[in-house]
Amino acid sequence: MNTVEINRGIPGSGKSTLTNFLLGECNRLGLSYACHSTDDLRIVDGVYIFDPAKTGYYHNLNYTNFKTSLENGVNLVVVDNTNVVLKDFVKYVEAGKKAGYKVIEVFFHPDELSKHIKRNLHSVPRASIEKMYQRLMGAKNLDFADGKYEIFPKTYMENIEAAAKSIVDGI
């Protein structure tokens, strides 16, 4: 069954690593794949440019691109944003289910904040990561998905590899 996979985690938690594993698994099995990341839309000539005035525009464009993937029947459609609270991603869940897709959540349990600050790809400031951490932990037990995987810091790569294989095998 075609699947929407929703990443939920603060910057530097492994979301991009998982999406790369998912792409590899889809390629291995000949499945179609699309990853929708608002951050990817902010990259201009290979440089990440954060312009707060364009945040709404990029989120709307990301969602429009996501819906196009659903309309095209892509086997695995990934939403690779932080998605810390329900309002951040509920429209993706609703659109996926309406299109007949199974919706899977991958929840990335936070590590020590200092590790996230070092690992995050877009130099997100510490204060922003701390706010995201508080919001994520306040909304970690949401019940919206048809399936859920949890990624833990101590078994990070093992969890990511297992989740990727299981998600793709379920398509």
Mean pLDDT calculated for residue range 20-30: 95
Class of domain 3-169 (CATH, top level): alpha beta
Q: pTM value?
A: 0.90
- Band (pLDDT 50/70/90 cuts) for residue 121 is low
Confidence band of 142 (pLDDT split at 50, 70, 90):
confident
Note the pLDDT of residue 128: 79
Find how far residue 29's CA is from the centre of its chain: 21
Longest CA pairwise span in the chain (Å): 42
E-assigned strand segments in the chain: 3-8, 33-36, 43-44, 47-48, 76-79, 102-108, 147-151
Q: Are residues 151 and 106 in contact, defined by beta-carbon separation less than 8 angstroms?
A: yes
Contact between 1 and 98 under an 8 Å Cβ cutoff? The reply is: no
Give me the chain's average pLDDT, please.
90
Residue with the two structure tokens 């706010």: 131
Q: What is the pLDDT of residue 30?
A: 96
Tell me how far apart the alpha carbons of residues 104 and 91 are, in angstroms, rounded to a whole number.
Answer: 14
What integer pLDDT is reported at residue 123 of this predicted model? Answer: 66
Helix (H, G, I), strand (E, B) or coil at 102: strand
User: Which pLDDT tens digit goes with each residue over 54-109?
Assistant: 888 989 999 999 999 999 999 999 999 989 999 989 999 999 999 999 999 999 99
pLDDT of 117 reads 73
